Amino acid sequence: MGEGAAAPAAAGGLVRVPVALAERGYEVVIGPGARTVLGEVLPPGARMAAVVTQEGIGVDVEVGIEARRFTIPDGEAAKSLSTVEALCRRLAAAGLSRADVVVAVGGGVVTDVAGFAAASYLRGVAYVNVATTLLAQVDAAVGGKTGVNLPEGKNLVGAFWQPAAVLCDTEVLSSLPEREWASGRGEIAKCAFLPAEPGAAAPGTALLAATLEEQVAWCVGLKATVVAADEREGGRRMLLNYGHTLAHALEGLALAGAPVDLRHGEAVAVGLVFAAELARRLGRVDEARVEEHRQVVASLGLPAAVPPGLSAGRLVEYMQRDKKARHDLTFVLDGPRGPEPVASVAPDEVLATLAAMGCEP
Q: Is 27 helix (H, G, I), strand (E, B) or coil?
A: strand
Has residue 277 got a pLDDT over 90? yes
- Give the model's pLDDT for residue 215: 97
Give the list of residues 6+ apart from residue 99 with CB closer than 8 angstroms, or none.
43, 45, 46, 47
> Has residue 198 got a pLDDT over 60?
yes
| 111 pLDDT higher than 90 | yes
pLDDT, residue 216, reads 98
Active-site position among 23, 55, 123, 178: 123
Per annotation, catalytic residue among 16, 185, 244, 284: 244
Just give the CATH number of 242-356. 1.20.1090.10
DSSP state of 332: E
pLDDT of residue 4: 44
Max CA separation in the chain (angstroms): 59
264, 284, 323, 324: the active-site residue: 264
* Band (8; pLDDT cuts 50, 70, 90): low
Task: Please indicate whether residue 324 is annotated as part of the active site.
Answer: no
Whole-angstrom distance, CA of residue 111 vs CA of residue 350? 32
Given a cut of 70, whether residue 235 has pLDDT beyond it is: yes
pLDDT score, position 194: 97
| Average confidence (pLDDT) over 321-331 | 83
CA distance 269 to 247: 8
Q: Of the listed 27, 187, 213, 266, which one is catalytic?
A: 187
Average pLDDT of every residue of the chain: 94
CATH 1.20.1090.10 location in the chain: 242-356
Question: Which member of 223, 293, 323, 324 is catalytic?
Answer: 223
Confidence of residue 10 (pLDDT cuts 50, 70, 90): low
Is 264 assigned a catalytic role? yes
Cβ proximity of 235 and 343 under 8 Å: no
- Short-list 88, 133, 145, 144, CA closest to 108: 133
Q: Which of 154, 248, 280, 323 is catalytic?
A: 248
Q: Is 327 among the catalytic positions? A: no
Query: Are the C-beta atoms of 304 and 291 separated by less than 8 Å?
Result: no
* pLDDT at 12 exceeding the cut of 80: no
Q: Does 293 qualify as catalytic in the annotation?
A: no
Is position 244 annotated as part of the catalytic site? yes
Q: Which residues pair with 68 in a beta bridge?
A: 50
**Which of the residues 233, 266, 277, 340 is marked catalytic?**
233
State yes or no: is 294 an active-site residue.
no
Looking at the predicted structure, is the pLDDT value of residue 1 above 50?
no
Q: Residues with Cβ < 8 Å from 244, sequence gap 6 or more?
A: 268, 271, 322, 332
In this structure, of 73-77, 106-110, 120-124, 188-192, the range with the lowest mean pLDDT score is 73-77
Exactly one of 16, 35, 79, 145 is catalytic; name it. Answer: 145
* Model confidence pLDDT, tens digit, residues 142-155: 999 999 999 888 89
Q: pLDDT tens for residues 63-99?
A: 999 999 999 999 999 999 999 999 999 999 999 999 9
pLDDT above 70: residue 9: no
**Is residue 123 flagged as an active site residue?**
yes
Q: Is 233 a catalytic residue?
A: yes
**Which part of the chain is CATH 3.40.50.1970?**
9-178+205-229
E strand or H helix at 50? strand 48-53
CATH architecture of 9-178+205-229: 3-Layer(aba) Sandwich (3.40)
